[in-house]
Amino acid sequence: MRGSGKTVFAIGIVAMFLTTVRAQDPGCQFTGNSACGGDNRELCAPHERLYAEQCSNGPAQSKCFEDKYCASINRGRANLAGQAWSGGYAFKQSADSLTVTGGSAGTGYGRFIGPYKISITWNGTGTYTGTVSLQNGLAKRIQWDRPPLGTWTR
């Protein structure tokens, strides 16, 4: 009788282990990844990467997931893309690199140069430095260093 108790206990431990493993592995795997902040197909927050998730019970889906490396290098970078800025401007963002389109100044190119600081160059108008302000963790305002850009909001 004593031996059968140990056997039942061992079977119980194995069953708990297998249940735990199954709960942690829903049949999904991740493939590929983007630069920090996503890519041109889908924008992620600066501390995330875009991964393709393939599960056994469905099609592959692209999703943003927090990435420890991206979080460690994000020193004041905010997501400027997505919603339009005042004046009709829009950003495309890949990590620290920025492209600005729309508005009267045309296309500009730049990057994050420090915590919540960006530098953008437009053809024929020179380089401008902007300070990004957040509201509830989202970029809501850019104060430019000189006219005619002034302040952009969204």
Q: Residue ranges of the domains in the chain?
A: 25-74, 86-153
Q: What is the pLDDT of residue 41?
A: 61
Look at residue 25 and tell me whether its pLDDT is greater than 60.
no
Residue-wise pLDDT for 41-52, tens only, equals 666 777 788 888
Q: What is the pTM of this model?
A: 0.57
SS (H, E, C) the chain: CHHHHHHHHHHHHHHHHHHHHHHHCCCEEEECCCCCCECCCCECCCCEEEEEEEECCCCCEEEEEECHHHHHHCCCCCCCCCCCEHHHEEEEEECCEEEEECCCCCCEEEEEEECCEEEEEECCCEEEEEEEEEECCEEEEEEECCCCCCEEEC
Look at residue 108 and tell me whether its pLDDT is greater than 90.
yes
Q: What is the pLDDT of residue 5?
A: 52
Look at residue 20 and tell me whether its pLDDT is greater than 50.
no
Residue-wise pLDDT for 66-91, tens only, equals 788 887 776 667 888 888 999 899 99
